[in-house]
């Protein structure tokens, strides 16, 4: 046992360089990307890093949850038991609900504990999780939403030039999706609708795109947890349906995995790596594919890379298609040749540049 001695939440802002008109991310135009880190100190001089979900400008709320509730509750608990420690905190504060900022904070803490566990064992996480040696995993380019055909074509072609053979759009209009499809020469094109369509609207647009091959259609409907409606859309459209980043709990995946084809848990939202392990088991039980949600540039992405290297090394990992300014995790979070290198150091395998982190930190 290594007791947790300190927990710190650190937010930082990383510049984003756009190749043209600035796209939307989480509903607004973005020129920077905010990340909320968790730093955990444990007995024996071990330090671990995690990441909480911070999109929709939610990081100040999640940081307060970490500072006021989750961090203090973790002190003295076992840093080498990520699942047990996270479960103990969730049980203690179950009255706060099982999702939202509370669970996002727990997710970051739990990931940091896995980083510590890997360091204590002297193993990268993909080996600690029981995987074979793995040098790299494939990546797919996840383009932001432009809502303009010329911009969609520009970024689709740029992704192809950079070696990506799998590309995901966030467009919601048929002409924009069709414009990207015209650029594809083989490979896989996916569409993430971000819950923008009604059931009738989805049927109409997918019918309009009936001649376009899509590897999957992600979160086509609102609300995202209307699994009977998703199952009906899957049946009526004969499309591969993906869902999961907005799941409120692991139990959601029991119903989801029976209604969709691809489940997409997020390590920074659902409870950490232990939650991903449980969802992987549910997916196997129901014959669904697993493709974790990972539009991140810090420990959540590194944890996803390590997890996929251990459990599904041929599953492409989501790579947000932004050109980034300097960040504390450097090149480790940027794919090369449409592949992510799997860090081989212990734990997550990468330590942040603390000087740069201090310069980028938000108050």
Contact 182, 157 (CB under 8 A): no
Query: What distance in Å separates the CA atoms of residue 282 and residue 288, rounded to the nearest whole number?
Result: 8
pLDDT of res. 19 = 74
pLDDT at site 242: 98
What is residue 27's predicted lDDT score, i.e. its pLDDT?
65
Q: Provide the pLDDT for residue 96.
A: 87
| Contact between 146 and 322 (Cβ < 8 Å) | no
Closest CA to 42 of 68, 14, 65, 76: 76
**What integer pLDDT is reported at residue 66 of this predicted model?**
97
User: Half-sphere exposure (CA, 13 Å, Cβ side) for 35?
Assistant: 30
3-state DSSP assignment of residue 332 = helix
Let me know the angle formed at the C-alpha of 60 by 56 and 65, rounded to the nearest 5 degrees: 115
Q: Which residues pair with 318 in a beta bridge?
A: 140
The predicted structure's pLDDT at residue 179: 98
What pLDDT was estimated at residue 322? 87
Q: What pLDDT, on a 0 to 100 scale, did the predictor assign at position 244? A: 97
Q: Are strands 216-218 and 188-192 parallel, antiparallel or unpaired?
A: parallel
User: How far apart are alpha carbons 334 and 120 in whole angstroms?
Assistant: 27
Residues 6+ apart with CB under 8 A from 72: 7
Q: Identify whether the C-beta of residue 152 lies closer than 8 Å to the C-beta of residue 146.
A: yes
- Asked if residue 269 lies in contact with residue 244, where contact means CB atoms within 8 angstroms, the answer is no
Cβ neighbours for 223, distance < 8 A, ≥ 6 positions apart: 195
pLDDT score for 28: 66
Cα(294)–Cα(31) distance, rounded to whole angstroms? Answer: 19
Give the mean pLDDT per block of 10 residues along the chain (363 residues): 97 87 67 93 98 93 97 98 98 90 97 98 98 98 94 96 97 98 95 97 97 98 97 98 94 96 98 97 97 96 98 96 94 97 98 98 97
CA dist 180 and 172 (Å) reads 12
Q: How far apart are CA 283 and CA 280, in angstroms?
A: 5
- List domains and CATH numbers for the chain: 4-122 (3.30.390.10), 127-354 (3.20.20.120)
Residue of 310, 318, 357, 352 lying closest to 335 (CA atoms): 318
Structure tokens at 353: 């540049």
Q: What is the pLDDT of residue 24?
A: 67
pLDDT at 32: 86
Q: Which two tokens stand for residue 63?
A: 């940081």
């Amino acid at each position: 046992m290594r007791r947790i001695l300190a927990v710190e939440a650190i937010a930082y802002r990383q510049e984003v360089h756009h190749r043209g008109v600035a796209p939307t991310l989480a509903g607004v135009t973005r020129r920077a990307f905010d990340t909320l880190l968790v730093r955990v100190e444990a007995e024996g001089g071990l330090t671990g890093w995690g990441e909480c979900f911070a999109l929709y400008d939610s990081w100040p709320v999640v940081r307060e949850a970490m500072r006021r509730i989750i961090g203090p509750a973790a002190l003295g608990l076992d840093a080498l038991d990520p699942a047990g420690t996270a479960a103990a905190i969730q049980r203690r504060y179950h009255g706060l609900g099982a999702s939202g900022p509370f669970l996002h904070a727990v997710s970051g803490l739990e990931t940091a504990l896995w980083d510590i566990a890997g360091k204590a064992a002297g193993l990268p996480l993909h080996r600690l999780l029981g995987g074979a040696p793995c040098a790299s995993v494939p990546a797919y380019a996840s383009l932001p939403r432009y809502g303009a055909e010329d911009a969609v074509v520009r970024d689709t072609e740029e992704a192809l030039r950079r070696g990506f053979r799998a590309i995901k759009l966030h467009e919601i209009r048929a002409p924009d999706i069709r414009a990207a499809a015209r650029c594809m020469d083989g490979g896989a094109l996916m569409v993430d609708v971000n819950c923008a369509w009604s059931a009738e609207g989805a049927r109409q647009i997918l019918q309009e795109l009936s001649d376009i091959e899509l590897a999957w259609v992600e979160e086509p409907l609102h609300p995202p947890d209307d699994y009977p409606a998703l199952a009906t859309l899957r049946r009526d459209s004969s499309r591969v349906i993906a869902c999961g980043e907005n799941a409120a709990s692991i139990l959601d995946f029991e119903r989801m995995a029976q209604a969709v084809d691809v489940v997409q848990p997020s390590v920074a939202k659902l409870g950490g790596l232990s939650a991903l392990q449980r969802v992987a088991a549910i997916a196997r039980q129901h014959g669904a594919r697993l493709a974790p949600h990972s539009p991140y540039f810090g420990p959540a992405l590194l944890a996803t890379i390590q997890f996929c290297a251990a459990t599904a090394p041929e599953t492409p990992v989501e790579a947000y298609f932004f050109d980034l300014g300097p960040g504390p995790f450097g090149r480790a979070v940027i794919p090369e040749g449409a592949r992510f290198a799997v860090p081989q150091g212990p734990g997550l395998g990468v330590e942040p540049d603390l000087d740069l982190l201090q310069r980028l930190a938000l108050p």
